[in-house]
Structure 1
Amino acid sequence: MTTPWVRSVLAEPEIDAAAERDLARRARSGDTDARAALIRSGLRHVVQRARMLGFRGDALDDAIQAGCLGLIQAVDRFDPSRGARLRTYAWWWIGDAMRTAVPIVSAPLPDDLAGEPAHDSVASDLVPDDVPEVLRLRYRLGETAGLPRPRHEVARLLGLTESQVRDREAQAMRQLRQGLAKVVHRAPGEGVDPP
């Protein structure tokens, strides 16, 4: 059941790119009102991310709370001169905060995805078992925020060569792109709330 707060957040109109850039520049200069406006503008994406990850009930509330912390981190690091929109930049920060704070028990797949073969997933038999660990170490997943760890350091930690780390990372990214390409057309359009 959707709470009145969630409905009100989803009903808020999105700010356009020019207004977002202006707020971001002002926030980077120390304007706390601009920072607060950016955070408010990103709340709808926190709710959408939590719902897309399959959180419901109390877990939805917990995920939204954690996602808000991720959004705040993203707002504080957002650089509008790089050309990305805040929602694009913040998407990873929001999801990472949710996954770190609230375990995803088993988000149900949409009916049209439930029957797809397992070979389309990153955990395929074609991917070495250490790929998740390579990605976790390389991108500091589950750690406090930071720049990606250098490949030579990941290689040293896992007893691999730098080339093996690069290959595993590239293989995982290819499979992620292929998986995303299959579901992108199923994503809700701009301004459309997920079911």
Structure 2
Amino acid sequence: MPEQPRLVGRSSSHYTRLARLFAEELGIAYAFEPVHDLASRDPADYAGNPALKLPVLVLPEGPVFGTENICRTLAALAGEPFRVLWTEQLPDLRARNAQELVWHGMGAQVQMVFGMQVAGLPAQNVYFAKAADGFRHALAWLDANLESVLKGLPPRDLSLLETSLFCLLEHLGFRDTLTLAPYHHLAAFAAAWRERPASQRTAYAFDVAMPG
């Protein structure tokens, strides 16, 4: 029996959840290995990723670094011909802008959470204040354009854009950064995606280290 892929990450991470959602939606069995200490500066704690970042997909032939890289690898491993819509297949400028803003929002949230909640730096610092402003503007743009973007997408079983957007939106409440209340289209989108079995199997949580 071939060795099962191992996904190293955190249940509280939107990047890790994106990879897990792809595995679940594509029907790929995998073992999940949580990393508990994000302050570690040892690449060995990140499955050998020299950038000290998560998630990492560990395959018999070696590790796969980076969320999108992992998602593409999982799609290649899928046993059925799933129609996966990638960024380069998005049909127009608005859809590609939407994906760029989702990536921006995910990065900005890491910046805010790690800087303020983990490192304890002041929210008033212009580094975080500007990140929060840009994040809100990005969410407003996504909310205003979401319906037209989704209507323009070609037939698919799964898309990187929609899956990453859901991971970002769910993370807002989980990490108590920004509220979705002003963004009605985004809130409705997140609520619909929350009903998917794969979403329910990958709900955000804080990993608890086992004693000993």
Larger radius of gyration: 1
**TM-score using structure 1 length:** 0.31
**TM-score using structure 2 length:** 0.29
| Larger fraction in helix | 1
With CA pairs under 8 Å and 6+ residues apart, which has the higher RCO, 1 or 2? Answer: 2
